[in-house]
């Protein structure tokens, strides 16, 4: 089934926002950028939702940050693909780099595939949060929770000891951190905007190249000696070679075809007579 989804399929023209909405609604996540799914964990769970229980979620690391950890997730995914006989080679080395366009294309393919299996209907019996408990993310969150409790206990102990100097030092430190956090937040917002703009440019260039290739194929076909003098081929070339987006190029082409048809009918009538 997957081998039938070619690069010219309409699936590859699904926008970034639609892909993110699809992921967030089904997996109860809150992704805001395509590259946040570069670790492969989201893809693993999407297949697990499509084929409940098919993915060993205890092997999936939702907190993967290094390329090594991400590669392990994709290994799990490729093994599941092989098991389910899904004919799709995963370009792991490109995906783990976190480049938006590469990850968008893979997610576009994944959405098309999952929709072809379940008809685009969400599995109401699937609990994505519960299934993620079998992965690595929640274990890390629990560890963070314990560390937080330990930190709170230490803070209460220090407060009870009446260490005023330490409190003042912490206050100054917090103010400094708030300023850094604000600047960091602004930088992240600008970085996200730049990334989004780059993604938009990449998609526009891809669409431009797609239609240019189609036009080039049509031009080559019309230049074939066997058909280049056929009225339809001549009319098409009139449109292709029209300068400065000439508005009446289509009208001229249609008029040329009409004249050719009329001339052909006249010649046939003369031959019959």
Residue at which a domain ends, from 93, 118, 136: 136
The reply to whether 130 and 29 lie within a common domain is yes
Residue 218's domain spans which residues? 193-265
The reply to whether 14 and 118 lie within a common domain is yes
Residue 110: inside a domain: yes
Residue at which a domain ends, from 106, 121, 136: 136
Cα Rg of the chain (Å, integer): 29
Residue 176: inside a domain: no
220: pLDDT confidence band, cut at 50, 70 and 90? confident
Number of domains in the chain: 2
pLDDT of the residue at 140:
41
The reply to whether 217 and 103 lie within a common domain is no
Q: How many CB atoms lie within 10 A of CB 231?
A: 16
pLDDT > 70: what percent of the chain? 76
Looking at per-residue confidence, does 132 or 191 come out higher?
132
Return the DSSP state at 248: T
**pLDDT tens digits, one per residue of 38-82:** 999 999 999 999 999 999 999 999 999 999 999 999 999 999 999
The reply to whether 16 and 83 lie within a common domain is yes
The length of the chain, given as a count of residues = 273
CATH number of domain containing 208: 1.20.5.1430
**pLDDT tens digits, one per residue of 130-168:** 999 875 544 443 333 333 344 344 444 444 455 555 555
Residue 165: inside a domain: no
The reply to whether 120 and 235 lie within a common domain is no
Q: Are 1 and 113 in contact (CB under 8 A)?
A: yes
Highest mean pLDDT pick, 96-110, 119-133, 140-154, 200-214: 96-110
28: pLDDT confidence band, cut at 50, 70 and 90? very high
Token pair for 102: 């590469």
Residue 171: inside a domain: no
């Amino acid at each position: 089934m997957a081998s039938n989804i070619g690069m010219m399929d309409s699936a590859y023209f699904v926008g970034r926002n639609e892909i993110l909405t699809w992921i967030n609604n089904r997996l109860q996540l809150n992704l805001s950028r395509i590259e946040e799914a570069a670790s492969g964990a989201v893809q693993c769970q999407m297949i697990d939702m499509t084929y409940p229980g098919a993915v060993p979620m205890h092997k999936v690391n939702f907190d993967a940050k290094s390329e090594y950890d991400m590669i392990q997730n994709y290994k799990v995914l490729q093994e599941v693909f092989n098991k389910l006989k899904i004919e799709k080679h995963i370009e792991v080395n490109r995906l783990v780099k976190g480049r938006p366009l590469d990850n968008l294309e893979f997610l576009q393919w994944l959405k098309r595939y999952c929709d072809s299996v379940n008809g685009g209907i969400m599995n109401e019996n699937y609990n994505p949060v519960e299934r993620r408990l079998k992965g690595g993310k929640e274990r890390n969150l629990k560890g963070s929770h314990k560390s937080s409790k330990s930190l709170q206990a230490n803070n209460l102990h220090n407060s009870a000891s009446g260490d005023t100097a330490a409190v003042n030092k912490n206050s100054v430190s917090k103010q400094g951190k708030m300023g850094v956090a604000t600047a960091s937040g602004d930088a992240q917002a600008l970085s996200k905007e730049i990334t989004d703009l780059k993604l938009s440019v990449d998609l526009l260039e891809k669409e431009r190249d797609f239609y240019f290739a189609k036009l080039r194929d049509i031009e080559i076909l019309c230049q074939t000696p066997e058909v280049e003098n056929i009225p339809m081929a001549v009319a098409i070339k009139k449109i292709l070679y029209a300068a400065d987006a000439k508005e009446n190029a289509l009208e001229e082409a249609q008029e040329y075809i009409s004249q050719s048809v009329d001339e052909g009918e006249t010649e046939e009538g003369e031959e019959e007579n």
